[in-house]
Amino acid sequence: MSDDQKSAFDPNPPRRNFYGRRHGKTLRQSQKGYLSEDLGDLRPRGITVQDNPDRKPINPADIFGDDRPVWMEVGFGGGEHMVHMAHRYPEIGIIGCEPFINGVAMLLGKIRAAGVQNVSVHPGDARDLMDVLPEASLSRAFLMYPDPWPKARHHRRRFVTPEHLLPLARVMKPGGEFRVATDIPDYVRQTLEEVPPAGFDLISETGMPWDDWISTRYEQKALREGRVPHYVTFRRKA
């Protein structure tokens, strides 16, 4: 892996803990090719501390070339939902964040196969992107099957905590939609408790997926193991 590639996968500033995995099993040759050939052009600039030590706000219009609505997916995993949304809504731009390199490689393969152009890929922590996004710049955000952190002493690591939700509220447009899917009842509880005080109204909490939903790898696993999906929708307060 070149130095450039290494820095792409080590974007976390030391002041911040990331508890998930960054690497999984050895990448296939084709996946290494996607990373070295495609990621450079698809990465948004000025997100990492190395790229932007002063944390100057970026202009999302620089990413997509115009001032289209911008959406963000936190933890896209294998990327099936992100590519599906990009394909379904060509008029928007979607930035995906995922520190797990194997997931990034999978997404890049799917982007090639689908030929979608309206995507940007931050191979790191969503908090680094939110740090440098201007206020009220996102129209929609997705948190699909976030890491459950089942042990009570780890619940503060969940995304649905003020550490993540307050920056999210800052970067979302008033009226912007925030979707959360999870199969963990206690994650639903914490989501319903913590998201509204960060500045969101609850719109719905249901077992019926959104009309434009595509099931993700984690959802398929949850269904195979007999767990029940929950779909929660919030709107950023005006």
| DSSP output for 39-95 | HHHHSPSS-STTT-TT-PPP-HHHHHSS---EEEEE--TTSHHHHHHHHH-TTSEEE
- CB of 135 closer than 8 Å to CB of 84: no
Which residue is catalytic, options 51, 147, 186, 201?
Answer: 147
Q: Does 109 bind ligand SAM (CB under 6 A)?
A: no
Q: Give me the least distance between CB of 26 and ligand SAM, in Å please.
A: 18
73 known member of a binding site: yes
133 vs 138: CA distance, rounded Å? 9
Catalytic residue flag (residue 147): yes
Q: Does 38 bind ligand SAM (CB under 6 A)?
A: no
Q: Give me the least distance between CB of 22 and ligand SAM, in Å please.
A: 8
Number of H helices, E strands in the chain: 9, 7
Q: Select the residue interacting with ligand SAM from 49, 74, 83, 106 (CB under 6 A).
A: 74
State the helix-helix crossing angle for 80-88 and 101-114, rounded to 10 degrees. Answer: 30
CA 54 distance to own-chain centroid: 23
Report helix, strand and coil shares of the chain as percent, to nearest 5: 40, 20, 40
Q: Taking the CB of residue 231, how many other CB atoms lie within 10 A of it?
A: 18
Q: Select the residue interacting with ligand SAM from 32, 87, 112, 217 (CB under 6 A).
A: 217
Q: Select the residue interacting with ligand SAM from 93, 109, 123, 146 (CB under 6 A).
A: 146
Stretch that binds ligand SAM, among 25-33, 35-43, 84-92, 139-147 (CB under 6 A): 139-147
Q: Give me the least distance between CB of 66 and ligand SAM, in Å please.
A: 26
The two tokens of residue 89 are 């809504």
Q: Does 187 bind ligand SAM (CB under 6 A)?
A: no
- Please identify every residue annotated as catalytic: 147
Q: Which residues bind ligand SAM (CB under 6 A)?
A: 20, 74-78, 97-100, 103, 125-127, 144-147, 216-219
Which residues are annotated binding-site positions for substrate? 151, 183, 216-219
